Homo-oligomer: A and B are copies of this chain.
Amino acid sequence: MNPKALYALSYGLYIVASKKGERINGQTANTVFQISNNPSTIAIGVNKSNLTREFIQESRRFTVSVLAQDAPLSLIGQFGFKSGREVDKFARYTHKTTANGLPYLIDHTLTFFEARVMQEVDAGTHIIFIGEIAEAEVLQEGAPMTYAYYQQVKRGGAPPAAIATGSK
């Protein structure tokens, strides 16, 4: 078996966020994919050790901010390499909240959406949350950040728990 075979899979790069009471938090994620239309459902993979996982299980909702290709490494580092247990990750970046009070990024963000959790699946180190889209808006046109672009052009590293394919 050659584990590099899995490196050829393509991903985007996103900020997945949620809230618990008055606290908000978010993290980088590469596993965000649409499952079906009518209704529109989305699946995301979140490491069990992450605070955002706890917030999603509490609020039963999450947002996804789709990063633009021009998102700086500092932003990805803020959300990917730091823990919401120690810093308020959103404090440094322009953000808004949905009608349900969940945060999403404005800076370097193409689109965002909020989903209501319909199912969660225990997949070992990660939870897969399957949600139905409740709100979705386009903020600006542009090329989305991909995980390949982040690695090859931006020379970014992989946060050990924030990105599902953490060994890359």
Q: Give chain A interface residues in 1-47, CB to chain B under 8 Å.
A: 1-13, 30-43, 45
Known contacts A35-B124, A39-B124; is-contact A8 B144 (Cβ 8 Å):
yes
Distance between Cα atoms of A65 and B130 in the complex (Å): 25
B43 touching A136 by the CB < 8 A rule? Answer: no
B residues near A112, Cβ cutoff 8 Å? 5
User: Is A111 part of the binding interface, using a Cβ–Cβ cutoff of 8 Å?
Assistant: yes
Tell me if A66 counts as interface (CB < 8 A to partner B): yes
Q: Are A123 and B66 in contact (CB under 8 A)?
A: no
Return chain B residues, CB-CB under 8 Å to A2.
111, 136-138
Q: Can you list 28 A-B contacts (CB < 8 A)? A: A1-B134, A1-B135, A2-B137, A5-B138, A6-B40, A6-B111, A6-B133, A6-B136, A8-B66, A8-B144, A9-B12, A9-B32, A10-B10, A30-B33, A31-B33, A33-B33, A35-B124, A35-B128, A36-B45, A37-B125, A37-B165, A38-B125, A41-B123, A43-B43, A43-B45, A121-B128, A121-B130, A128-B130
